[in-house]
Amino acid sequence: AQSVTQLDSQVPVFEEAPVELRCNYSSSVSVYLFWYVQYPNQGLQLLLKYLSGSTLVESINGFEAEFNKSQTSFHLRKPSVHISDTAEYFCAVSDDGGATNKLIFGTGTLLAVQP
C-alpha cells in the first residue's frame, strides 16, 4: 500500500523568507501526487497536483512542487512566504493509480509564518 511521509510536523519561518515543506511517498508504478492546504477551522483546499507531464507544478499563489521519481519526493516550495500562508499543509498520494478518489494523506506540516 502507498504511504506518505511528511518529516516536519511544524516549520516556523519569518515573513518573506523562502520555505520548503518535505514530502516523500512509497514507490509505485503509477502515482498521482497532491498538496492540500487547511486553514484554521476550514476544510482542505487543493493547492497543486501532479498527474503527468512536467515534473514542476505551480499554484496560483506562488507555491511550486517538483515530482522527483528517483527520490520518490514531492517537496513544496515558496520563495517568499506571507503571513496569510500560515496553515497546515498535507501531501497526498493516490492509492490506486487514480481508479478512485481515495487519497493517502501525510500527517501534515504546520507552516507558521512570523512577522
Partner 1 sequence: KAGVTQTPRYLIKTRGQQVTLSCSPISGHRSVSWYQQTPGQGLQFLFEYFSETQRNKGNFPGRFSGRQFSNSRSEMNVSTLELGDSALYLCASSLGGTTPGELFFGEGSRLTVL
C-beta of 68: minimal distance to partner 1 in Å?
A: 20
Shorter beta-carbon distance to partner 1: residue 46 or 56: 46
Cα dihedral 19, 21, 22, 23 sign: negative
Shorter beta-carbon distance to partner 1: residue 15 or 24: 24
Per-residue burial over 59-96, b if 16 or more Cβ lie within 10 Å, else e, is beeebebebeeeebbbbbebeebeeebbbbbbbbbbbe
C-beta of 27: minimal distance to partner 1 in Å?
A: 18
Binding site for partner 1 (CB under 8 A): 32, 34, 36, 41-46, 49, 51, 90, 94-96, 98-108
For residues 11 and 62, the answer to whether their CB atoms sit within 8 Å is: no
Shorter beta-carbon distance to partner 1: residue 80 or 107: 107
